[in-house]
Amino acid sequence: MQTSRRDFLKTMGTLTIGFTLPSWVPEADELPGSLQRDPRIRAWLEILENGQIRVFTGKMELGQGIRTAVAQVAAEELSLPLSQVEVVMADTDRTPDESYTAGSASIENSAMAVRYAAAAARQKLLELAAKQWRKPVEELQFAAGTIRWKNKQISWKELLNGKQLQDEVRGNVALKPKGQYQLVGKPMPRPEINRMVRAETWFIQDLRLPGMVHARMVRPPSYGARLEKLDESAVRKQIPGIQKVVVQGSLVGVIATEEFQAMQAQWTLQESVRWTDVQPLPTGTALVSYLKSLPARIERVHEKGQPTGPTTIKAQYYKPYLMHGSIGPSCAIAWYQKGTLRVWSHSQGVFPLRETLHRLLKLPLDRIHVIGMAGSGCYGHNGADDVAAEAAWLAMAYPEHPIRLQWSRDEEHAWEPYGSAMILEAEARLSTAGRIEQWNYTLWSDTYTARPGGDPANLLLARYLDPPIPKKPASSINGGTIRNSEPYYNIPDIAVDAHQFEGPLRVSSLRALGAFGNVFAIESFMDELAEKARKDPFEFRIMHLEDERAIAVLRRLQELIQNERIKPKEGVGIAFARYKNTAAYCAVAARVRVTGNQIKVMNLWSVIDAGEVINPDGLKNQTEGGLIQAASWTLKEQVQFDAQQITSRDWVSYPIFLMSEIPEVEVVVIDRPQEPVLGAGEAVQGPTAAALANALYRASGKRVRDLPLIPAKLKN
């Protein structure tokens, strides 16, 4: 009953014409998206004096275009041009708390909350005018900034008389019928791109506060090292402008007047500080066997039918540690002024960061204000929260000065939390007709979720404070780790087992989380099974699918590439997944060429169905970028280390795609305006990896099951 009511509410906008509505009132937990967190209209939007509106979202703009999508839905419901909508994002004093901007869920949660809040506002404004004029709502006309009846007109501002709407979004919310949309579903340019090309202030890195000073941290040689001796006088003698060296336990920071002074102080201290060194990292044994040998929490995370029979084909796949590798290293500004701490951060979650700082610094919540500002693309949990906490820690030690802390390239590469390495074992049995009868899948991975979320133990600095803040051991298998570990195919007997270890490197959420490794393995294995069953890869997948939308993305992909002429030494591979098995559907094809000692990606194609599309160009941009980023992960990347430390410390030791390596990309969006919106920003990564491995197999005859797909693995 609950579900059907909720579904009804979601699609109500398509059913309702005019404003006659069912009489039930939804419960708070039946409201769409983040309205469940805060159902007040005014939490999501304000009507300004000039008839424009200001929308509030707790989500962050990360380059994914959420700012524009949110503005589009609000403008649509209120019949305003897009330029009349201002968007305020992620600010603990101003916006609703929407936790993290993660999991490709911002359209589903934030944009839908704003859509309903805007529709409710429209309705309330109409009701106010109806009351004032004693006319039925049905006779009124709603227009940008005003409401009309015959030749009478009243502005929103006059109706509100200096106040904001006090109502909550409750039942009876009539959405604009989708057939009348002017903005939603149309490609909209993102206004911030105008600011970026003009070098206007947009990034946190560009924020300059009066009296701002510059800080750098001094890092130990390895994860577990402890500070032994630090001689402050040497650095003070050599470098002018040092304002303070802050030391607590093994955590060391330095504050200087000029940025270059802070950098020199960092280098000098890095040279002179003595640490008790440790060699915490495993070398010698192959990483795969080492990881498999670690103690692990083991759980059967999915079971269907009787997956106990013998299997006839088996393969093991490997996904290495990968890094986020933001182009702009993490940065934050913190200012402890008259007992209040203000922090500017590009964290994906300003509210959880505030909670984390509250526990770390023992400051009351209402004394901490975290303001979100765009950073360089982060693709998950990178150094953003760490640098913000370190800046806050420095600000407490050096009050009344705005402190800008900028991580270096070396720090970003070596200290960010990576996406865990994964080992993925798949086995199956085929029927004589070439159908999969049984599927057994086992994965080994560290967790994919270690965001602070209010707990300072997950911050980098927690390890170096005196006493350190101990990390709680994981109490369950992480949902991110097992994301997409269950195949989306119709197979009678399935078992999925997860082994979650605590690996040697610091890890957390990287775009697509476990789905990247899991889909790489599942879709590589599907290709191996198709070959065994002597079936075409498209047909083999389709014969195991029941969901029409899944079949539709594959068919559309098939059409898209059917006229491609494949040259010698080239191969085309395909893959499919539905992200989280509940979000966007995505099929990918790759064309790879193998020549001499080179593997070159020539083309990537993708077909994506994310339900109702708010901004098709935004979705395309995200998907094109996802294809290219995932191709770089797949062909080039793995975090490397020796016994002491991470050795991937810059763009030479951790190379990513260069312009000369970028393939042609083409993305087709299947828009389904009548369907609910589905998260899409992470749909394409897993299928891309498998499509590339499958293409490489066709081009070279060699099945490579270990990422990255480097030429050396084609030998033997």
Partner 1 sequence: MEATLHLRVNGQSHRLTVDPATPLLYVLRNQLQLNGPKYGCGLQQCGACMVLLDGKAQPSCLIAVETVQKQEITTLEGIAQGTQLHPVQQAFIDEQAAQCGYCLNGMILSAVSLLKENPKPDEAAIREGLERVLCRCGTQSRILRAVKRASH
Instruction: Kindly list the residues in this chain that would bind ligand FES in the complex (CB under 6 A).
Output: 63, 327, 377
Single out the residue of 626, 679, 686, 708 in contact with partner 1 (rule: CB under 8 A): 626
**Block residue for tokens 């020539």:** 602
Burial class (CB in 10 A: 0-12, 13-18, 19+), 297: middle
Q: Which is nearer to ligand FES, 63 or 611 (CB)?
A: 63
Q: Which is nearer to ligand FES, 3 or 660 (CB)?
A: 660
Cis ω before 708 (30° cut-off from 0): yes
675: partner contacted, choices ligand FES, partner 1, none (Cβ within 5-8 A by kind): none
DSSP notation for 319-367: E--B----SS--EEEEEEETTEEEEEE--S-HHHHHHHHHHHHT--GGG
- Torsion angle (degrees, nearest 10) of CA 549, 551, 555, 561: 100
* 621 part of the interface to partner 1, by CB under 8 A: yes
192: partner contacted, choices partner 1, ligand FES, none (Cβ within 5-8 A by kind): partner 1
User: Any bridge partners for residue 406, and if so which?
Assistant: 331
3-state secondary structure of 46: strand
For partner 1, which stretch binds (CB under 8 A), given 23-31, 116-124, 327-335, 563-571? 327-335
* Nearest distance in Å: CB 87, ligand FES: 20
* 531 part of the interface to partner 1, by CB under 8 A: no
3-state secondary structure of 296: strand
Strands 436-445 and 493-501: parallel
Q: Which two tokens stand for residue 437?
A: 């009868």
* 478 part of the interface to partner 1, by CB under 8 A: no
Cα separation, 292 vs 290, in Å, equals 5
Amino acid at 560: L
* 63 part of the interface to partner 1, by CB under 8 A: yes
Q: Which is nearer to ligand FES, 327 or 365 (CB)?
A: 327
* Nearest distance in Å: CB 324, partner 1: 8
* Nearest distance in Å: CB 411, partner 1: 11
Q: Which is nearer to ligand FES, 267 or 290 (CB)?
A: 267
Q: Which is nearer to partner 1, 24 or 260 (CB)?
A: 260
Q: Which is nearer to partner 1, 34 or 408 (CB)?
A: 408
Single out the residue of 149, 181, 202, 398 in contact with partner 1 (rule: CB under 8 A): 202
627: partner contacted, choices partner 1, ligand FES, none (Cβ within 5-8 A by kind): partner 1
Single out the residue of 622, 634, 638, 645 in contact with partner 1 (rule: CB under 8 A): 622
3-state secondary structure of 573: strand
| Sheet bearing 598-609, strands edge to edge | 570-578, 585-595, 598-609, 664-670
The interaxial angle of helices 685-700 and 616-636, nearest 10 deg, is 50
651: partner contacted, choices ligand FES, partner 1, none (Cβ within 5-8 A by kind): partner 1
From the CB of residue 179, how many other CB atoms can be counted at a distance below 10 Å?
8
Q: Which is nearer to ligand FES, 62 or 242 (CB)?
A: 62
Residue 537 near residue 690, CB atoms below 8 Å: no
Q: Which is nearer to ligand FES, 26 or 375 (CB)?
A: 375
* Nearest distance in Å: CB 651, ligand FES: 8
* Nearest distance in Å: CB 203, partner 1: 7
Single out the residue of 237, 309, 651, 674 in contact with partner 1 (rule: CB under 8 A): 651
* 617 part of the interface to partner 1, by CB under 8 A: yes
Residue 67 near residue 85, CB atoms below 8 Å: no
- Among positions 159-198, residues that touch partner 1 (CB under 8 A) are 189-190, 192-194, 196-198
Q: Which is nearer to ligand FES, 145 or 377 (CB)?
A: 377
* Nearest distance in Å: CB 328, ligand FES: 8
Q: Which two tokens stand for residue 268?
A: 């000098």
189: partner contacted, choices partner 1, ligand FES, none (Cβ within 5-8 A by kind): partner 1
* Nearest distance in Å: CB 657, partner 1: 7
Residue 119 near residue 173, CB atoms below 8 Å: yes
Cα–chain center distance at 539: 32
Q: Which is nearer to partner 1, 201 or 597 (CB)?
A: 201
Cα–chain center distance at 117: 25
Q: Which is nearer to partner 1, 276 or 640 (CB)?
A: 640
151: partner contacted, choices ligand FES, partner 1, none (Cβ within 5-8 A by kind): none
Q: Which is nearer to partner 1, 188 or 554 (CB)?
A: 188
* Nearest distance in Å: CB 327, ligand FES: 4
643: partner contacted, choices ligand FES, partner 1, none (Cβ within 5-8 A by kind): none
Distances (CA, A) of 581 to 380, 550, 577, 685: 20, 10, 7, 14
Residue 480 near residue 514, CB atoms below 8 Å: yes
Q: Which is nearer to ligand FES, 326 or 481 (CB)?
A: 326
* 536 part of the interface to partner 1, by CB under 8 A: no
From the CB of residue 352, how many other CB atoms can be counted at a distance below 10 Å?
20
* Nearest distance in Å: CB 657, ligand FES: 11
The backbone region for 416, taken as left when phi is positive above 0, alpha when psi lies in -120 to 50, beta otherwise, is: beta
Taking residues 241 to 280 in sequence order and writing x for each that binds partner 1 by CB under 8 A, - otherwise, the string is -----------------xxxx-------------------
Reported as half-sphere exposure (CB side, CA atoms, 13 A), residue 708 has a value of 21
* Nearest distance in Å: CB 259, partner 1: 5
Cis ω before 189 (30° cut-off from 0): no
* 657 part of the interface to partner 1, by CB under 8 A: yes
Taking residues 363 to 402 in sequence order and writing x for each that binds partner 1 by CB under 8 A, - otherwise, the string is -----------xxxx-x-----------------------
Reported as half-sphere exposure (CB side, CA atoms, 13 A), residue 189 has a value of 6
* Nearest distance in Å: CB 377, ligand FES: 4
Q: Which two tokens stand for residue 516?
A: 């990247």
17: partner contacted, choices partner 1, ligand FES, none (Cβ within 5-8 A by kind): none
* Nearest distance in Å: CB 209, partner 1: 12
24: partner contacted, choices ligand FES, partner 1, none (Cβ within 5-8 A by kind): none
From the CB of residue 472, how many other CB atoms can be counted at a distance below 10 Å?
9
Name every residue whose Cβ is closer than 8 Å to that of residue 608 and which is 6 or more positions away in sequence. 553, 584, 585, 586, 619, 623, 667, 668, 669, 670, 680, 683, 684
Distances (CA, A) of 397 to 132, 247, 629, 708: 58, 9, 40, 44
Q: Which is nearer to partner 1, 116 or 379 (CB)?
A: 379
664: partner contacted, choices ligand FES, partner 1, none (Cβ within 5-8 A by kind): partner 1
**Block residue for tokens 């200290």:** 415
Q: Which is nearer to partner 1, 118 or 614 (CB)?
A: 614
CA angle 478, 481, 487 (to 5 degrees): 120
Reported as half-sphere exposure (CB side, CA atoms, 13 A), residue 71 has a value of 24
Amino acid at 620: K
Q: Which is nearer to partner 1, 307 or 372 (CB)?
A: 372
Query: For binding to partner 1 (CB under 8 A), which residues are involved?
Result: 62-65, 189-190, 192-194, 196-203, 205-206, 208, 240, 258-261, 324-329, 374-377, 379, 406, 408-409, 617, 621-622, 624-629, 632, 650-652, 656-660, 662, 664-665
